[in-house]
Structure 1
Amino acid sequence: MELNEGGSYGQQTSSSYPINYRKQHFAKKLIQLVNDKFEEVFIVGGFLSFIILINLQVLNRYILPFVEIGNITTWTEEVSRYMFIYISYLGASLAIKKRESIEVNILVQRLPYHLQQSLSFATSIFMGIFSVVLIYKGFQMILMQIEMNQTSPALGMSMAIPYSAVPIGFSVLLMRIIQIAWEDVQKMVWKDVGISILITSALCLPFLTLGPSEIVVLLFGYFIIFILIGMPIAFALGISTLATAMATGAIPLNFFSQAAFTSIDNFPVMAIPFFVAAGILMGGGKIIQKLLKLSDELLGFLPGGLALVAVVTSMFFSAISGSGPATVAAIGTILIPTMVKQGYSIAFSTAIIATAGSIGVIIPPSNPFVIYGVSAQQSISKLFIAGIFPGLLTGVALMVVSFLISKKNGWRGERTTFCLRSAFTAFWDAKLALIVPFIILGGIYGGVMTPTEAAAVAAAYGLIIGMFVYKDLNWRSLYTSLSKAGVTSSVIIMLIVMATLFGRLITLERMAEIVATFVLGISENTIVILLLINLFLLVVGFVLEALAAIVILTPILMPMVIELGIDPIHFGIIMVFNLAIGFITPPVGVNLFVAAGVAKINIEKVIHAVIPLLLTMLFVLIILTYIPSVSLWLVSFMK
């Protein structure tokens, strides 16, 4: 401190204090911003980039063939794939931070709160260990790529760059796991922390005591235990596989980092984030309102008109979103209050919205069909076209039952007559929304685009329509929508990665053949076996989310299906339809909970109202199971 003129001290300190304070405040704000928005910024930027790149690829092929910019189809696809891998792991870390992973909480929710916290912390410990292994092996993989001097086919860049997505992605994941673990610890007393450590230690005992002869016990035992304690399903798959591999040496640990890259370095898998983004971009604005208006003009004058509107709008929107819960949330928010206002019971209104939303995974595009196609190595295009008629049949069946229930209860709208002029006006007003299915399906079956390209075009179309035509999207809502799409799709992608690891052990241990032998030992009658498979899948749908069930069960059931001579495309329809029923069956029943949350109604009342609609879905399932032509007749027209 210096003596100033006039003999006073401290003026320099007092004048510099606000500056230092502002610097510290700015630094804190910057750190908080990075903490809050780090993944989001990269996710949104990545989404915008590969939406543009894939659309540029399509445009160059058909509209701009005269532009000489190299083999654009090759390099745009390559860049998009590698960006997609990075974004997937960043989205997964954001899902961890927001605690939005797919998990089974049936048992955990019934436990005392302090024990829930202990289990959550124990789960974080295992997830952290798994991430450390992937980081370590991921860096080894990078060094190997550098040593071998491997380069990418199109750009000629070192493969160490795209492969670095694994250690970088899991490093960010580890950071978020530590963050949520610290949040849990701050809410716990030392006794609960001790319980967490005890649980973790106890779960390590099988790993330390069982050997190579107990692979099946270790793999499925750990998986079931991790599921029951509330671990995200993706990590339950991966960690149970890692524990089994370390205990038995069944597969080398290097396989984990390799599979974390190669399992999603797959262009068809990229259809998932594009379809998710398209559904989110078009689900919260004027498009859904215009579809509801059109459906109302076509059917609102009938008894149960609004219930019919719910089903038809779900069918329209299914051809955009490919997601059941997204359909329920988009339509239910608008329609449930309107139905209640017109005299429908709130329980029935909620039940029909939840059930109609199940059509979202049957009518193409469908994320479960994409997952099944990748898992079973079947044509996604054929699965899409095979789902059209089953989806329409389901919609018609639900409309008939809704009509009868509504007529019995005297539920009808304010209009009693049909007006052609109003219907045509509503049709013309909704034309931009109705074009979307033709863009997607017409592009695929016209041979113009792959499913992934069609999904990217649909996402770009939704973005352009929302921002520049209907103007219900601004930059802030676009940012929020793409961030949400990144989280939602990354949760699905992580399931694919971890299921690849899990499936490796299933294949090595010939578990699919064992299951096939067991089932065929019960009966060799195809009718009986299909009945058993249906019952099994329905039970699985009670407790396991559809996408998780598909990635786990497809490798196990597919060999048996092929041995029985069942068409894999037909079986894909059966599997997805069974699991679609799981959307409206507790205790998981995600559509039920989404719809009940929108309606703010007790879930038990919805379950009672959904029973006749559930029986309708089961009736359609029987038809689809035993009359394959219902699903396959459109496929037969494909070359």
Structure 2
Amino acid sequence: MVDTSMATKGHTGPLVYLSRLSKFLTMITSWAGALVLLINVLVVFLSVIWRYMLHSPIEWAEEVARAMMIALVFFGVATSTGRGGHIGVDLFLRFIPEQIRPYIVHASRWVLFLVAVGLVISSYDLGQASWLQTTETGLPQVIYVIPVIIGSVVMMVAALEHALRERAKVVLVSGAGIVVLALLGYLKLSMMPDPSSAAAGFMLICFVLGIFAGVPIAFTLGMSAMVFFICDPSLPFVFFSQQVISGVDHFVLLAIPFFLLAGAAMEINGMSTRLVELVVRGMGRFRGGLNMTTVLSMAFFSGISGSKLADVAAVGGVLMPAVRRANQNSEEAAGVFAASAVISETIPPCVNLIVLGFVANISIGALFLAGLIPAACLLVLMLIAANRFGGKINIREAYPKMRPLLQLWIGAIVGLAMIFMIGRGVMMGIATSTEISAFAVVYAIVVGRLAFGELTFRATVKMFVDTAAMSGVLLFIVACATSLSYVLTIQMIPQEIAQFLVGIGVKQGAWVFLMLTIVLLIVFGAVLEGAPALIIFAPILVPIATQLGFNPLHFGIVMILAMGFGLFSPPIGLGLYTTCAICGVEMKNVIPPMIKYLAVSLFGIIVVAMVPTISTWLPRLAGY
């Protein structure tokens, strides 16, 4: 993986002051992001209390929550940029000669800086345009733009500081390469009678170069969209920031940081360690007991954290020490982690279920229900594979010091109660997924604190700061993907793809279309990660699938599973890289033992695709 950060190397001169400024601004945005996240939880939580108990809804609550959502995204991504938290895939860099590889890697830092500069300029123009405008409830429209300007400025300073951290030769040569490419593009445009006709081509070139150079995916998407707006004179540049903001200006997306926060609270409370130990002690006596524990733990925590990578981090950080103490194969354990993450794709409240419901206009509650039985089928298959391919362990070696069983059962009951609350609330339509996620946060913090007493004030503050930064990274991907999706739409590219795929479906059959969709999404799921791939492809593919006779719930679940399979598949999947990093193993050693588990996952996905009832029976039973 390519990390955009680098250890400070004896800063001298102006770079010292730039570094201090970057650290100071990053500290400000980290605290601001944590505060915004806390206020947002309270606003949404109290608005539900007011509506149900006092029968008096807070009219301004949703608008304020949306404005703070935008602030959370840009403060969070600025904090992550300052910390060097954006990661790209270095798969293609391995084919570049070692002599020039450092210059290509460093060029990605300049891309971060240029995207941040573009956002500063565009958002400043947007701020001026919206200065005198108001929202529906009379709030100033500029409250949506000011956090973008602040976050983009901090991101620009941090990106510049990271870009200047290398040797002077690398900094200058990589920067000169970016300038030369920009000049060549400008000369090409200046010689064309209609520069706007080349905008799409330049956008595609930037996207491909960004992927091959290991530029973090959010900035690859942002750079591609930004270049299009620069090259097309018929579109004002203010559209760039406007579309980025519109990508996260949605109340429903607040469920993502809220579920992440609830999952973090449960992990810090010690519930994850208690649950995993309980499962190990229960399953360890069977053949493949440790692998089966991994599968069950991943399924359980997917219903708490909402994020696949957060699941891997939570379970891997707890279980890998036990794997090593029990003298088990670390590479096979990492492979089981990655393959098991695929089954957690459709277990509520997975982030991608929320994103899909948002972009494809599908009920999120119905998607939560539709994903349960497919996940259960994949879970059973993975448990069989784990039992078949695994060996027995000595539980005493894995856990030399065991907790009392009562503590372990309390941890499991607290977590299960939260999952039940989430599922029941969605199924009964008591509240929206965002409102339920706010209740999950309050439950995780209050009940977890009372039950375990491990969530101290200091740990709580750090949890809010870290979750705000993580949320910024995830949702900035959504924001930039939305901007690129807008560009693709005005270029009529989705319509052309739709016509092509409808033709295939009509001539070759709907099931051929479905199989091609699975292959397409596995490939793009590995390259783009789940959220951007969904934002780009779901609005195109879901209506086509519906037109060809597929239930949108069934088709949506198949989409999410296929993209999850790509995310954790070698050799490109970003999720597999992350899993290997968390487990402390090399990917080349993980692939051989992992193949059999991936084959089982793929078989399960095909079964779910070919039997629509697996996805549609439970939502239909609930009245969707």
TM range, smaller chain: 0.7 to 0.9
Deviations 1:187-243 (A, max 9, x none): 736555544533444455555556333454333232112222222222222322232
For 2:463 and 2:187, locate their aligned partners in 1 and report how far apart those are by CA, in whole Å. 44
SS in 2 for 1:587: coil
Alignment of 1:424-463 (within 5 A): 426-463=408-445
Shift of 1:268: 0.3
For 1:207 and 1:558, locate their aligned partners in 2 and report how far apart those are by CA, in whole Å. 36
For 1:222 and 1:207, locate their aligned partners in 2 and report how far apart those are by CA, in whole Å. 15
SS in 1 for 2:508: coil
1:101 correspondence with 2:91: no
Seen in structure 2, the aligned counterparts of structure 1 residues 205 and 625 have a Cα distance that, compared at 3 Å, is farther
Stretches of structure 2 that go unaligned for 5 or more consecutive residues are 1-16, 398-403
For 1:282 and 1:568, locate their aligned partners in 2 and report how far apart those are by CA, in whole Å. 33
Partner of 1:23: none
Seen in structure 2, the aligned counterparts of structure 1 residues 103 and 558 have a Cα distance that, compared at 3 Å, is farther
Seen in structure 2, the aligned counterparts of structure 1 residues 427 and 466 have a Cα distance that, compared at 3 Å, is closer
For 1:126 and 1:222, locate their aligned partners in 2 and report how far apart those are by CA, in whole Å. 10
Moved more, 40-49 or 224-233: 224-233
For 1:31 and 1:137, locate their aligned partners in 2 and report how far apart those are by CA, in whole Å. 23
Find 1:505's aligned residue among 473, 487, 490.
Answer: 487
Matched residue pairs, number?
Answer: 597
Partner of 2:12: none
For 1:162 and 1:500, locate their aligned partners in 2 and report how far apart those are by CA, in whole Å. 17
User: Contact 1:318–1:359 at 8 Å: present in 2 too?
Assistant: no
Partner of 2:13: none
User: Contact 1:304–1:413 at 8 Å: present in 2 too?
Assistant: no
Alignment of 1:538-557 (within 5 A): 538-557=522-541
Deviations 1:405-443 (A, max 9, x none): 23xx5557579xxxxxx9888545521111111121111
1:88 correspondence with 2:73: yes
For 1:342 and 1:130, locate their aligned partners in 2 and report how far apart those are by CA, in whole Å. 48
Moved more, 248-257 or 471-480: 248-257
Find 1:161's aligned residue among 128, 131, 143.
Answer: 143
User: Contact 1:298–1:423 at 8 Å: present in 2 too?
Assistant: no
Partner of 1:8: none
Stretches of structure 1 that go unaligned for 5 or more consecutive residues are 1-26, 416-421
User: Contact 1:381–1:445 at 8 Å: present in 2 too?
Assistant: yes
Shift of 1:513: 2.5
User: Contact 1:121–1:196 at 8 Å: present in 2 too?
Assistant: no
Query: What is the percent sequence identity of the aligned residues?
Result: 26
Alignment of 1:398-477 (within 5 A): 398-406=382-390, 409=391, 426-477=408-459
1:560 correspondence with 2:544: yes
Seen in structure 2, the aligned counterparts of structure 1 residues 126 and 544 have a Cα distance that, compared at 3 Å, is closer
Partner of 1:152: 135
For 2:276 and 2:182, locate their aligned partners in 1 and report how far apart those are by CA, in whole Å. 51
User: Contact 2:111–2:215 at 8 Å: present in 1 too?
Assistant: no
Find 2:205's aligned residue among 208, 215, 221.
Answer: 221
User: Contact 1:369–1:576 at 8 Å: present in 2 too?
Assistant: yes
Partner of 2:3: none
1:397 correspondence with 2:370: no
Find 2:304's aligned residue among 293, 302, 320.
Answer: 320
How much is the aligned-residue C-alpha RMSD, in angstroms?
2.9
1:56 correspondence with 2:46: yes
For 2:37 and 2:423, locate their aligned partners in 1 and report how far apart those are by CA, in whole Å. 22
Moved more, 621-630 or 602-611: 602-611
Seen in structure 2, the aligned counterparts of structure 1 residues 113 and 632 have a Cα distance that, compared at 3 Å, is same
Deviations 1:446-480 (A, max 9, x none): 22221011111112222224444312222332222
Partner of 2:364: 380
Alignment of 1:65-80 (within 5 A): 65=54, 71-72=57-58, 74-80=59-65
Normalization by structure 1: what TM-score? 0.86
Partner of 1:16: none
For 1:98 and 1:229, locate their aligned partners in 2 and report how far apart those are by CA, in whole Å. 21
Partner of 1:572: 556
User: Contact 1:278–1:321 at 8 Å: present in 2 too?
Assistant: yes
For 2:118 and 2:410, locate their aligned partners in 1 and report how far apart those are by CA, in whole Å. 57
Partner of 1:15: none
Seen in structure 2, the aligned counterparts of structure 1 residues 504 and 38 have a Cα distance that, compared at 3 Å, is same
User: Contact 1:358–1:581 at 8 Å: present in 2 too?
Assistant: yes
**Larger of the two Rg values belongs to structure:** 1
For 1:144 and 1:31, locate their aligned partners in 2 and report how far apart those are by CA, in whole Å. 30
Moved more, 380-389 or 174-183: 174-183
- 1:500 partner amino acid: T
Seen in structure 2, the aligned counterparts of structure 1 residues 373 and 115 have a Cα distance that, compared at 3 Å, is farther
Shift of 1:269: 1.0
Seen in structure 2, the aligned counterparts of structure 1 residues 29 and 607 have a Cα distance that, compared at 3 Å, is closer
Deviations 1:87-125 (A, max 9, x none): 211111122222322533222355467744533554444
For 2:455 and 2:405, locate their aligned partners in 1 and report how far apart those are by CA, in whole Å. 27
Seen in structure 2, the aligned counterparts of structure 1 residues 583 and 137 have a Cα distance that, compared at 3 Å, is closer
